[in-house]
Amino acid sequence: MRGLLAVALAKRIGQPLTVEVAREVVAECLPDLSMGAVAVERRGDLVFQAEQLGPDPAAGELAAQRLRFLEETLPPGVPAHVQWDELRQIERSGQLLILTVRRDGLLLGSVWLNLYQDLNTGEPVACDDMLFMEQGARGGMVVVHLWRYAERVLEQLGRVQMSCHSREANNAGRLARFVGGQITHTGFSKRIGCGQERAQRAGKD
């Protein structure tokens, strides 16, 4: 990233740093992941494809679906405050891939994947940021087909491993096991510095 920025700025030595020039530099350093590199697949009336956040990342179907996901997964009392501009920049850098499944144009679900290099092995890998299915699309094989599609896309992009988070609240671990995933670690989270720890201790006394 620093190298790309240095080259982009060097090309423009002597130019006034206008808003337009700044946009050119950002676009050069953070190129969009080519959607043409991701194949669209059809299975019956289902369409699987890659999609991107729009110019206003907080608007549109993908943003609305992410907010519904957060309503179900954030701890009680913790409000959603999505950093939409940061998400869009990460997406433009090629480090976030959003895959969706639709039926007759209706968005049924999506999986958001972080793409990165494992610092311990040097391998190109992926990890889910979120996986969400609308209520009417749960309980069947649609989510399995979406997951399998994600695996094929990641393989096509040269990723050698896909990791996922299984939330206790929705028992998503069943899906991971069904598609051949293996348990590699157990994760824990704890809210600190916001009075909740004191309240939890008081409840145990």
Task: Report the alpha-carbon distance of residue 29 to residue 47 in Å, rounded.
Answer: 32
| Mean per-residue pLDDT, 77-104 | 93
65 φ, ψ (degrees, to nearest 5): -70, -35
* Cβ–Cβ < 8 Å for 40, 49: yes
| Mean per-residue pLDDT, 147-167 | 87
Query: Global pTM?
Result: 0.74
3-state DSSP assignment of residue 174: helix
What percentage of the chain reaches a pLDDT higher than 70? 76
pLDDT at 63 over 70: yes
Residues in the chain: 205
Pseudo-torsion of CA 85, 91, 96, 99, nearest 10°?
A: 100
- Biggest CA-to-CA distance, the chain: 68
Pairing of strands 161-163, 124-133: parallel
pLDDT at 48 over 90: yes
What pLDDT is stored for residue 165 in this prediction?
73
pLDDT band (50, 70, 90) for residue 32: very low
Encode pLDDT of 98-108 as tens digits. Answer: 999 999 999 99
**What per-residue string of b and e applies to 13-27 under the rule 16 or more CB within 10 Å gives b?**
eeeeeeeeeeeebee
Q: Catalogue all structural domains in the chain, each as residue range(s) with its CATH number.
A: 1-30 (no CATH), 34-186 (3.40.630.30)
